[in-house]
């Protein structure tokens, strides 16, 4: 499926299983749709389970030279919901995917029926100097990802 962003186009790879209410699974930074395969197989008994490779990751395309923003990632998640033919979804996000889920809930609340966040890296809620330590760590991961994919 193609993202609906006017700024940057990307082909977003999706995996869909089952029938029922939409359950959108958003992975963390270094994961792809396959991370949720076993879980998706189980949940597909009661839900339409969709997992996807986030922009510039694994089987999804995108402009690697552009900064990756949470806002863009949330627009991609909204595009996945719409492309799958649903008005709203139960959203589960893990790690960086949790931040994307939170952004989606804030910017497009009409698309989120329920949100579950797991291990959300909400660094800015930490006191200094712990927050700075984690900002540095995330910056190093971003640099490594940008250089090595």
Determine, yes or no, domain membership for 7: no
CB neighbourhood size of 27 (10 A): 24
Tell me the whole-structure pTM to 2 decimals.
Answer: 0.78
Q: What is the pLDDT of residue 53?
A: 84
| Type and span of the H or E element at 94 | strand 89-94
Q: What is the pLDDT of residue 56?
A: 74
Q: What is the pLDDT of residue 104?
A: 97
Q: What is the pLDDT of residue 1?
A: 54
Q: Does the CA dihedral 35-51-78-44 come out positive or negative?
A: negative
- What CATH number corresponds to the domain at position 70? 3.40.50.1820
Q: What is the pLDDT of residue 103?
A: 95
Determine, yes or no, domain membership for 78: yes
Find where tokens 């909400």 sit.
Answer: 122
Determine, yes or no, domain membership for 41: yes
Determine, yes or no, domain membership for 136: no
Determine, yes or no, domain membership for 71: yes
User: Is the separation of the CB atoms in 129 and 99 below 8 Å?
Assistant: no
Q: How many folded domains does the chain comprise?
A: 1
User: Is the separation of the CB atoms in 22 and 14 below 8 Å?
Assistant: no
Can you give the residue range of the structural domain that contains 36?
A: 14-123
Determine, yes or no, domain membership for 139: no
Determine, yes or no, domain membership for 142: no
Which residues of the chain have a pLDDT value below 50?
A: 2-6
Q: What is the pLDDT of residue 66?
A: 77
């Amino acid at each position: 499926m193609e993202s609906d962003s006017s700024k940057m186009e990307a082909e977003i790879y999706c995996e869909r299983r089952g029938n029922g209410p939409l359950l959108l699974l958003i992975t963390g930074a270094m994961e792809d749709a396959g991370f949720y395969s076993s879980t998706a197989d189980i949940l597909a008994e009661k839900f339409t389970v969709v997992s996807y490779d986030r922009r510039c990751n694994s089987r999804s395309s995108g402009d690697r030279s552009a900064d990756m923003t949470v806002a863009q990632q949330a627009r991609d998640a909204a595009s996945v919901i719409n492309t799958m033919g649903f008005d709203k979804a139960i959203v589960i996000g893990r790690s960086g995917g949790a931040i994307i889920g939170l952004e989606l809930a804030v910017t497009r609340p009409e698309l989120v029926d329920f949100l579950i966040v797991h291990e959300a890296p909400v660094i800015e809620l930490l006191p200094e100097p712990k927050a700075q330590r984690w900002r540095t760590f995330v910056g190093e991961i971003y640099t490594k990802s940008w250089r090595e994919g």
